[in-house]
């Protein structure tokens, strides 16, 4: 598992935890964010939170992510030639 920690900036004050994670990690698939919340792997100032929990400026949001995301194996090369 990889731990990512973010400090909530003033412009994100009052937003929901799920929306904040999408904002700070735009390349992370939505399914991975959903799985993190379902597994209770998201913490706000050390307490586990849900997607709809509001975040405040200065709080620390931590999320545990798998070492690999689910979509890494989607585009595997199985055959290649000169063309």
Give me the helix-helix angle, 30-38 and 17-24, nearest 10°: 140
Number of Cβ within a 10 Å radius of residue 66: 14
Query: How many percent of the chain have pLDDT more than 70?
Result: 88
pLDDT, tens digit, for every residue of 44-83? Answer: 999 999 999 999 999 999 999 988 655 555 556 677 788 7
Place of tokens 């399914």: 31
The pLDDT value recorded for residue 68 is 66
Taking the model in full, what pTM does it have?
0.76
Over residues 32-50, the mean pLDDT reads: 94
């Amino acid at each position: 598992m990889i731990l990512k920690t973010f400090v909530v900036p003033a412009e994100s004050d009052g937003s929901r935890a799920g929306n904040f994670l999408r904002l700070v990690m735009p390349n992370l698939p939505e399914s991975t964010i959903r799985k993190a919340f379902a597994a209770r792997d998201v913490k706000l100032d050390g307490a586990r939170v849900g997607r709809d929990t509001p975040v405040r400026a200065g709080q620390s949001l931590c999320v545990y992510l798998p070492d690999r995301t689910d979509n890494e194996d989607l585009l595997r090369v199985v055959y290649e030639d000169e063309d």
